[in-house]
Amino acid sequence: MAATTSRTLELLSLLQSHRHWTARELVDRLGVSDRTLRRDVERLRDLGYGIESLRGSAGGYRLEAGTGLPPLLLSDDEGVAIAVGLRSQATAGLRGAEHTTLSALAKIEQVLPAALRRRIEALQSHAAVGTGGVGSARSARPSPEIDSELLGLLALACRDAERLRFRYTDAAGEASARVVEPYRLVPVARRWYLLAFDRDRDDWRTFRLDRMGDVFQTRVHFEAQPMTDEVARERVERALRWRDRGVSARVIVAMPKDELVAYLGWYGRDVVAVDEAQCAWPLAADTVENLVMALMWLPRGAAYRIDGPPEVHAFLAEQAERFAAAARA
């Protein structure tokens, strides 16, 4: 009996996700005979679902469009997505539909398991409403797919003030390990970002969710500072504006990471090891001139090379000639 019920629910899920199925497609997907498929269809009809039978070479089954709405079969992710959408619409104040929105939300949430309700509450309370003001040119790009489990996990960590560890790959393709105190999830220009305090770098950082991996819940809690959605969104958008207009490069220094970090102090917080004898120091500035000025902070006698855009190398060559001329004079 349990197998029959499970199979019937799977059939219902297939019919709700597809406009039309041929009988052969359903038989193959469910692994049943034609006779068993017909019996399962009749069971759904007895429950109030209008299922239309189509004859001919392209015959099969599809749900009829009707005035009544039979019970829907939703996956966990679908239930979370619908509930979060309804909550957002309710708080936005959809004129003339406040009652129906809240009524639909109540019906969905009362049948959700406790674990899913926690995910919804965390997403609603710690996911700031995004704007299209930043990176409007990027908004036309396809948005990267985000695992809903990751989104829910990060929202819970923000709500519960729980430290996280994860691997992060930056725009230059450099991977690093991060330990952060998460605060808010912020959607901007069709992408999700996590605003968090990076403990190793002792500063605020913005992380794109599609570049995060191996997220680990530490079960270690921190004392969160008060923060509004507006402040979180402003910090993320400011970080994105800086990245869009700035110049960046990587300085490969011929010395171990620990030695360079000890020499630079706070300014070496982003240094990563290349191997035992070399490390990489990522730099970013609003102009080429300001970026190159940071090279003067390197230890005297330390050999290095620069991986960066052509304008950085052109500026270095120009300044090298001027320095040489000044030295000869």
Give the model confidence (pLDDT) of 122-150 as tens digits.
666 666 654 444 444 344 445 566 666 78
Lowest mean pLDDT among 128-137, 212-221, 234-243, 270-279: 128-137
- CATH class (in words) of the domain with range 2-63: mainly alpha
Distance CA 266, CA 245 (A): 24
Question: Residue 185's beta-bridge partner residues?
Answer: 127, 194
3-state secondary structure of 28: helix
The residues of the chain that CATH labels 2.30.30 are: 138-243
**Which residues in the chain are classed under CATH 1.10.10.10?**
2-63
Query: With bands split at pLDDT 50, 70 and 90, how would you rate the model's confidence at 19?
Result: low
Is the pLDDT assigned to residue 83 strictly greater than 50?
A: yes
Nearest Cα neighbor of 179 from 150, 210, 148, 220 is: 220
- CATH number, span 247-328: 3.30.70
Q: How far apart are CA 175 and CA 251, in angstroms?
A: 16
Q: Residue 131's Cα: distance from chain center in Å?
A: 16
Percentage of the chain exceeding pLDDT 90: 20
Domain 138-243 has CATH 3.10.20: no
CA-nearest of 35, 282, 252, 239 to 135 is: 239
Residues of CATH 3.30.70 domain(s) within the chain? Answer: 247-328
Task: Judge if pTM exceeds 0.75.
Answer: no
Residue 275 pLDDT > 60, yes or no? yes
